[in-house]
Amino acid sequence: MTSTLSSRRAPLANPIEQLATLDASMTGRATFDEALRGAGWNALTPATLEIFQINLGKLCNMTCRHCHVDAGPDRSDAMMTRETLDACLRALDQTAAHTVDITGGAPELHPEFRYLVDETHKRGKHVIDRCNLSVLLLPRNDGLAEWLGDRDVEIVASLPHYRQRNTDAQRGDGAFEKSIAALRLLNAAGYGQGDPRRMLSLMTNPAGAFLAAPQSSIENEWKTALKRDFGITFDRLLALNNMPISRFLEWLIESNNLDSYMSRLVDGFNPAAIPGVMCRNTISISWDGRLFDCDFNQMLDLDAVTTSSMTIETFDAAAWQQRHVITRAHCFGCTAGAGSSCGGATA
């Protein structure tokens, strides 16, 4: 059974330790910036800001082995306040971003989750709930699927595989059964049946030290299998690489896979994946109102660097667009193979 790095006071709970481990694993390899330059990019520059990704905190009902957030049931120490949440909304109003992407932890456990969904929906934004599925089965969330459907919220649900073995290996024993129950509940609420107002996207991460399969090549197989075996339908499949940080980094080290996994990421560098990486069109906001280029940089305490330092309280849309994205070795995770971002493959 996995527990959080934080609860074990593991050295890797400290982002500085994670970065040092990653840097050490890169000895003798090209840096990410060198790879970028080789592909004709002097720096990773912002594209138009399209997505506000708000991380409500690290509290989660699950403790998955690959979690890059180190989320878990014991992480109520990191939860966004209503004041910070309102600052997110004020910042959102300064921009033309079309999507609000709500993540965590399990964002549905946050007491202000419904408030945030309501406020962003009222503003006409496309709202994404990054959902671990099992959270929908908790008594406190009775009726949540219908409630989200009434607000056109897209559910992006984590499911490593359409069979039990790989899902339970990554997310814990019993996770698959609960995921199937939650998917049935979402289908019953009208999700996953081609209605653009009730979009159900499944997100798969590899259950191990290898790259994600090209999502377009496996989507039909997933649709056929889930329909055949469980009567479940969904709209699209997103495939993401695992980031070599936090608990997945710990697993890579313990399983003696770190070196080969970093080789896979570095050797798999795909220049065609660069333009679509999420750090270019996304602002990532942490539970305490700090600003990051992406959720992974957030977990590594790599704050976005802007001309004048800012938090979500002092957000300046023009200055945000002037920054350069902060990159380190983990960025190879987003450019390997078919590319990988919160929206799935980028190449």
Partner 1 sequence: MSDHYYAPDHLKAFGTISEGAPELGKKFFEYYSAVFAAGALTEREKALIALAVAHTVQCPYCIDAYTTECLQKGSDIEQMTEAVHVACAIRGGASLVHGMQMKEHAAKVGM
Residue closer to partner 1 (CB basis): 57 or 339: 339
Residue closer to partner 1 (CB basis): 19 or 213: 213
114, two tokens? 């419904």
User: What is the closest distance, in whole angstroms, from the C-beta atom of residue 186 to partner 1 in the complex?
Assistant: 23
Three-state SS annotation for 97-133:
CCEEEEECCCHHHCCCHHHHHHHHHHCCCEEEEEECC
Cβ contact 318:332 at 8 Å: no
Give the pairing of strands 282-285 and 291-292: antiparallel
Of the residues 35, 51, 85, 212, which one makes contact with partner 1 according to CB under 8 A? 212
270 binds partner 1 (CB under 8 A): no
Q: Which residue has the tokens 């992407």?
A: 101
Closest CA to 96 of 294, 281, 342: 281
**Candidates 10-18, 116-124, 159-167, 324-332 — which segment interacts with partner 1 by CB under 8 A?**
159-167
- Report which secondary-structure segment, H or E, holds 204: strand 200-204
337 binds partner 1 (CB under 8 A): yes
Closest CA to 78 of 315, 301, 317, 270: 301
**DSSP assignment letter at 10:** -
**Candidates 56-64, 89-97, 121-129, 206-214 — which segment interacts with partner 1 by CB under 8 A?**
206-214
244 binds partner 1 (CB under 8 A): no
**Candidates 23-31, 72-80, 217-225, 299-307 — which segment interacts with partner 1 by CB under 8 A?**
217-225
163 binds partner 1 (CB under 8 A): yes
What CA–CA distance (Å, rounded) separates 194 from 132? 21
Of the residues 13, 137, 213, 319, which one makes contact with partner 1 according to CB under 8 A? 213
Which residues of this protein are in contact with partner 1, per CB under 8 A? 161, 163, 165-166, 206, 208, 210-214, 217-218, 221, 239, 264, 337
